């Protein structure tokens, strides 16, 4: 089970008590802290910038898994690296020179990730697998926490797993959206190894316990 990574999304945290909420999921054994950056253009919602990333950085030692749902994500490469981002994941449709920006993320000391919306084909990442440390599959349409897992996602997770196995390099396969104690087993069985969860963790009475429950559900999934 060591390859299962749980990444609570602070989009569902209490922003007035961010450090305390992060401390709770650290206590529960979270592996990463997922930070959802939204610009009001690529998605309708507006969320965090470098200041919030720096605040999360001060609150814990876990890697910060920064997910940019923004147009021209490359504008944030340097400020986010400076703020303490560990993983820089963006959507390929939001920019033109995808490979250049993946390489730049690595040069700045971050891991490089690409995120695909439910309707975006795996073909968008096939030619840059060498430049990739993480592939994020959206299992809802991005923009908000608390949406339902799109069932058809499991087939895409399986295809992505096959693609990564064939390629041979260790690329993390992350799923994001609607991951709960009820859906995580399906996503794990399909081949995902990294699981973002917002409302299922911070909406639970005990976020530490919610992290443990999610991990346990992977252990019992076929």
Catalytic residues: 36, 176
Among 30, 39, 66, 67, binds Zn ion (CB under 5 A): 67
Phi, psi of 189 (to 5 degrees): -65, -30
Smallest CA-to-CA distance from 180 within 198, 166, 168, 167 is with: 198
Among 113, 199, 208, 214, binds ligand DX5 (CB under 6 A): 199
Whichever of 41 and 167 has its CB closer to ligand DX5, that residue is: 41
Phi, psi of 120 (to 5 degrees): -90, 130
118 binds ligand DX5 (CB under 6 A): no
What does the buried/exposed string (b/e) look like for 146-161 if buried means 16 or more CB atoms within 10 Å of the residue's CB? ebebbeebbebbeebb
Say how many Å lie between the first and final Cα of the chain, rounded: 13
120 binds ligand DX5 (CB under 6 A): no
Report, in Å, the least distance between residue 50 CB and Zn ion: 17
Three-class secondary structure of residue 19 per DSSP: helix
- Which of positions 130-159 make contact with ligand DX5 (CB under 6 A)? 140, 142-147
Which parts of this chain interact with Zn ion (CB under 5 A)? Answer: 36, 67, 176
Residues making contact with ligand DX5 (CB under 6 A): 9, 11-12, 34, 36, 67, 140, 142-147, 176-179, 196-200
């Amino acid at each position: 089970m060591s390859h299962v990574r749980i990444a609570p999304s602070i989009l569902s945290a209490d922003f007035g008590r961010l450090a305390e909420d992060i401390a709770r999921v650290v206590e529960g054994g979270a592996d990463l802290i997922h930070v959802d950056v939204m610009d009001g253009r690529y998605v309708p919602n507006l969320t965090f910038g470098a200041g919030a990333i720096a605040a999360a950085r001060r609150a814990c030692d876990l890697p910060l898994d920064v997910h940019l749902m923004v147009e021209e994500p490359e504008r944030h490469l340097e400020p986010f690296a400076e703020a303490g981002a560990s993983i820089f994941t963006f959507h390929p449709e939001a920019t033109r020179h995808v490979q250049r920006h993946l390489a730049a993320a690595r040069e700045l000391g971050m891991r490089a990730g690409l995120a695909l919306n439910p309707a975006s084909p795996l073909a968008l990442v096939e030619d840059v697998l060498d430049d990739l440390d993480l592939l994020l599959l959206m299992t809802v349409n991005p923009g908000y926490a608390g949406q339902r897992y799109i069932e058809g996602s499991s087939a895409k997770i399986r295809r992505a797993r096959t693609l990564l196995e064939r390629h041979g390099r260790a690329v993390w396969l992350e799923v994001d959206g609607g991951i709960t104690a009820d859906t995580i087993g399906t996503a794990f069985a399909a081949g995902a190894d990294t699981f973002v969860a917002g409302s299922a963790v911070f909406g639970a009475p005990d976020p530490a316990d919610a992290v443990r429950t999610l991990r346990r559900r992977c252990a019992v999934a076929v």
